[in-house]
Chain A
Amino acid sequence: MLKIENLHAAVDGKEILKGINLEVRPGEVHAIMGPNGSGKSTLSNVIAGRDGYTVTKGGISWNGNDLLAMAPEERAWAGVFLAFQYPVEIPGVNNVYLLKAGVNAKRKAQGLPELDAMDFMQLVREKAKLVELDPAFLSRGVNEGFSGGEKKRNEIFQMAVLDPKLAILDETDSGLDIDALRVVASGVNKLRNAERSIVMVTHYQRLLDYIEPDVVHVLADGKILKTGDKHLALELEKRGYDWVRAEAAGGATA
């Protein structure tokens, strides 16, 4: 279980997250929505362990362990996965090679034997189908020359192969046309199961039409201002974010 308690985080000395509280149980899909600059991406990056973010207060535990004390690769071995908003291109590093190194590093950390090449390729081919990824992309450099949609598809493909217990999808819908969105969303839906927690960070309600969340949170000004079910997302789509802010401010003064 992911448990975030009173999380404060700063970038370049500026406080972005100002006390986040969040619990995600196995099998749950949470959506975190919010306007630009609300701290959505900061939250994703802090969970994945990117450099440059300083946690000034509070903490994150993952299955009872202190997530913030772990290096990014240790988080990956513990089952945490971030689907990047802007996946970076890595020319010269083969897509499949990266996944094989990732899968085997995780197995090694868990005391399991490495997958043999045949079993691994079978796994890869099976998962590529899940997001309708052209097999030609497997042997290319990581994201090298991929379109925006192909990059996002590749992220979900990697998620499928790495089989995380916690997946953070950071603006996975941005830059996708409607057909690509359907494919990516259907891939994610097939990856939903009773053990896996999924946190979708998104600006738009559109993604939630295809991946139905169990819980929706509104993140604004570095805090979760409101939590509800999928109907909250629809209301946000209709009314924008200002009413949530006003309500929260009213609640604070009341």
Chain B
Amino acid sequence: MTSAVQSLRDAAWQMYEQAGLPTLRSEDWKYTDLAKMKAALGEEWWKPAEIDSASLIDLAEMERLAIPTLDAYRLLFVDGRFHESLSHKPAGIEILPLAEAIRENADLAGELLRVDETSPTYTGLVAANSALAADGACVRIKAGIVLDKPLLIQHVAGRPGAAHICHGLWLGERSEAHVIEHYCGVGETARLTHAVTRVYLEAAAVLRHDRLQMEQPHHYHLGRLEVTQQRDSSFESHSIALGAALSRVDLSVLLAGQGASCRLNGLYLIGGRQHADHHTRIEHAAPYCTSREHYRGVIDERAHGVFNGKVIVNKGAIKTDSAQSNANLLLSKFAEVDAKPELTIDNDDVKAAHGCTVGQLDKRQLFYLKSRGLSEVDARQVLTFAFADEVLASLKLPAVRRFVERAAFARLPHSDGLEEMLA
């Protein structure tokens, strides 16, 4: 490791030690209690999984975890470590594993791991990730390049311990790509995935980004996606949370250049005692930017969903056009959601709309379906699925859409044969 990176990592670790984990006393963390994670993972929650030479998973297992029929490039990470041999890198694109950058390219590693303590979204977790991230993908797409196939960054988790990962995606002017981050795993033991992705979009770059969190029931997932957008760039995101005992995803977008636009879609579909928290932050820092946000939650049994959508419109960001909606469906009387839009608008020349709903299945719709012959269970299932599918319908890749739909569908109680509604 170069000494420059080493000292950056040491400094980051000190920052973490000073800040500690966010607690319920912090406004942005008051619904998500990381003490539970600590109780499950131990005081040294951050301790990386021990990687031995024996491969955790075999090829047959990989097949089972794959997204069927998806034709994509693939970067495979197992417990946070890049697996070159099972990866398929696109030609003509600069891709460097972070582990290598840390050893050999101090500038790149430094750019990605630098910690900004003054950032409004800074927490001890950010510092911990920079101090501990052992690997990740540094992907640089040059100006004008349009990636011909989606790039799948697949994370398979299984060993006890923590995997700290940090990815960087740099898209040059007018370049275009579709990136899928898929988090999945095997095994029954408690463990943590702690993944940060930093995205930089130059002028007129276009990025579609699907983040699929489908971790195992005893897994913990802390995710972060930071996006900085230059002039006329466009970012479309889907953030799906189906798995993990506890998950938290912080998504922040800085619309830094005039005419940039972002569209953030999200779905959390949880049951049991799952906890899923989505905090989003969109900052309009330039004129003529557009932001759209559409998150939905389906919460069953004793699960707890959290949605917080901040939209900040700075003084100079005239002609801002922003709309946000969040709808939640509670399927049990013990299900819980804390949903909050937060708009801070510092100028008058702005169009901003937001709406937030929490409700149960519509009785009139249920009766209508039953009067046509659907059983109570199927009618509920159909309506619940239709509610969730409003978000999934905008997934651009049919293979990804089908994959997520099937996974979501499997989570809901239903009769045999109803799957054909997905056809």
Residues on A facing B (Cβ under 8 Å)? 48-51, 71-73, 75-77, 81-82, 84, 87-88, 90-94, 97-106, 114, 141-142, 158, 162
A75 and B418 CA atoms in complex are apart in Å by 21
Interface residue B67 (Cβ < 8 Å from any Cβ of A)? no
Given A92-B386, A92-B390, the answer on whether A99 and B372 have CB atoms closer than 8 Å is yes
Tell whether, in the assembled complex, residue A90 and residue B365 are in contact, meaning their CB atoms are under 8 Å apart. yes
Please give me the 5 A-B residue pairs with the lowest Cβ-Cβ distance, nearest first: A92-B386, A102-B373, A76-B373, A102-B372, A72-B370
With both chains docked as a complex, state the minimum distance between the C-beta of A163 and any C-beta of chain B, in angstroms.
11
Tell whether, in the assembled complex, residue A73 and residue B375 are in contact, meaning their CB atoms are under 8 Å apart. yes
A147 and B383 CA atoms in complex are apart in Å by 22
Q: Which of B369, B370, B376 has a CB less than 8 Å from the CB of A90?
A: B369
Tell whether, in the assembled complex, residue B373 and residue A162 are in contact, meaning their CB atoms are under 8 Å apart. yes
A210 and B387 CA atoms in complex are apart in Å by 40
A140 and B32 CA atoms in complex are apart in Å by 40
Q: Which residue of B lies closest to A106 (CB)?
A: B373
Residues of B close to A97: CB separation below 8 A = 421
A83 and B390 CA atoms in complex are apart in Å by 27
Interface residue B334 (Cβ < 8 Å from any Cβ of A)? no
A105 and B389 CA atoms in complex are apart in Å by 23
Tell whether, in the assembled complex, residue B386 and residue A90 are in contact, meaning their CB atoms are under 8 Å apart. yes
A93 and B420 CA atoms in complex are apart in Å by 12
Residues on B facing A (Cβ under 8 Å)? 362-365, 367-376, 378-379, 382-383, 385-387, 389-390, 393, 417-418, 420-421
Q: Which of B372, B374, B385, B420 has a CB less than 8 Å from the CB of A158?
A: B372
Q: Which residue of A lies closest to B382 (CB)?
A: A93
The contact sample of 11 A-B pairs, CB cut-off 8 A, is: A49-B371, A71-B370, A84-B368, A92-B386, A93-B383, A98-B382, A100-B420, A101-B372, A101-B378, A102-B372, A114-B417
Residues of A close to B367: CB separation below 8 A = 50-51, 72
**Which among B368, B372, B378 has the greatest number of chain A C-beta atoms within 10 A?**
B372
Tell whether, in the assembled complex, residue A90 and residue B371 are in contact, meaning their CB atoms are under 8 Å apart. no
Residues of B close to A49: CB separation below 8 A = 370-371
Tell whether, in the assembled complex, residue A92 and residue B387 are in contact, meaning their CB atoms are under 8 Å apart. yes
Tell whether, in the assembled complex, residue A73 and residue B376 are in contact, meaning their CB atoms are under 8 Å apart. yes
A77 and B421 CA atoms in complex are apart in Å by 20
Tell whether, in the assembled complex, residue A93 and residue B386 are in contact, meaning their CB atoms are under 8 Å apart. yes
A99 and B420 CA atoms in complex are apart in Å by 13
Residues of A close to B375: CB separation below 8 A = 73, 105
Tell whether, in the assembled complex, residue A98 and residue B363 are in contact, meaning their CB atoms are under 8 Å apart. no
With both chains docked as a complex, state the minimum distance between the C-beta of A54 and any C-beta of chain B, in angstroms.
16
Residues of B close to A73: CB separation below 8 A = 370-371, 373-376, 379
Tell whether, in the assembled complex, residue A101 and residue B386 are in contact, meaning their CB atoms are under 8 Å apart. no
Q: Which of B362, B368, B378, B385 has a CB less than 8 Å from the CB of A105?
A: B378
A194 and B286 CA atoms in complex are apart in Å by 72
A210 and B385 CA atoms in complex are apart in Å by 41
